[in-house]
Amino acid sequence: MFSTEIKVLLQFCAGRLCCIFEGGLAKLCTWLGITTLVYYRRIVKSEENGAGETPTTPTPTSVNYHFTRQCNYTCGFCFHTAKTSFVLPIEEAKTGLRMLKDSGMEKINFSGGEPFLYQRGDFLGKLVQFCKQELRLPSVSIVSNGSLITEKWFQKYGEYLDILAVSCDSFQEETNALIGRRQGKKSHLDNLHRVRSWCSEYRVAFKVNSVINTFNVKEDMRDQIRELNPVRWKVFQCLVIDGENAGEDALREAEKFVITDEEFQDFLDRHSEITCLVPESNQKMRDSYLILDEYMRFLDCREGRKDPSKSILDVGVENAIQFSGFDEKMFLKRGGKYVWSKADMRLEW
């Protein structure tokens, strides 16, 4: 049996060698544990930055948990598509959420797919209640297309939810249909306004998310946004992710939705008077979000695809987050941390 000192030395040496001969030393690295590679890569990053010492582990202050990939819409630019139907058992999901809280998580955002699709929103509601009531997180939020939300859900779980974001890319039904943000003949805009009124009634902060693309880049949304009066209007530039909405194995073809940086800036300039507007270019989006997939793996988007870490349930948050590609400085620079608890917003309901 090796002493602790010898094993630590072997871990360090194997980490160096693994980077050079990763394939041949895979078994050794597995025996020594995932922390070998994590430790090595953190050393390399420190040396490249000239820091001279190992950087600290990023804190998962705000986490986006895509617990399901299934959706009832067919948005052509979707970058988290229905490649699986897997959903963690709720007790395992709660275990992972508690681990994230213990590692410093202050805000959880539930997304999909469409998070209200699974078990008609009851699974989501139970997680929302758990995070607010038991974990006592300052902020619990949801991103949804709004089509499956019911007033009954608000009556049961609304008190535990801080922010509800509804995705809406256009205020013209024809454009929404071209994008794929519609189910059958149901009006996406009617759903949007219905959910907006429930948010006011049940004291949930309302937010709008819009993806700017070739079909809506010329649209003027100022009057409609003023009418909805969201606490935040998050405006994203259409993003291409290999394997999700581009490439041979992708379920979507987002290339026809892509706009230039100049077109995106023109849209922002047209809406610059909207005080709640929060713009996010591709550069800001790609590595400033902590994305957790349905297996509770962090997804690294830096190379234009989603490379998963190991699950936090298997290796812990600290090990997994090293492979997330998360840029904590960009997260703060883009305003990722804001007044996100409805108790602190002082809203007039």
- Say which DSSP state 131 is in: I
Please give the Cα distance from 296 to 65 (Å, whole number): 8
Q: Which residue in the list 18, 29, 75, 199 is annotated as catalytic?
A: 75
Q: Is the dihedral of CA 297, 154, 98, 42 positive or negative?
A: positive
Q: Which of 82, 106, 39 is nearest to 339 (CA)?
A: 106
Q: Which residue in the list 71, 199, 238, 301 is annotated as catalytic?
A: 71
- Say which DSSP state 203 is in: T
Please give the Cα distance from 207 to 218 (Å, whole number): 22
Please give the Cα distance from 329 to 255 (Å, whole number): 29
Per DSSP, what are the bridge partners of residue 305?
A: 242
Whether omega for the bond prior to residue 96 falls within 30 degrees of 0, making it cis, is no
Q: Are 14 and 20 in contact (CB under 8 A)?
A: no
CB proximity list for 172: less than 8 A, separation 6 or greater: 219
Please give the Cα distance from 41 to 108 (Å, whole number): 27
Number of Cβ within 10 Å of residue 282's Cβ equals 17
Q: Which residue in the list 18, 19, 29, 78 is annotated as catalytic?
A: 78
Query: Which structure tokens are listed for 76?
Result: 């052509």
Query: Which structure tokens are listed for 72?
Result: 């009832």
Q: Which of 326, 286, 322, 281 is nearest to 303 (CA)?
A: 286
Please give the Cα distance from 157 to 155 (Å, whole number): 6
| 19: annotated active-site residue | no
| 78: annotated active-site residue | yes
Please list the active-site residues.
71, 75, 78
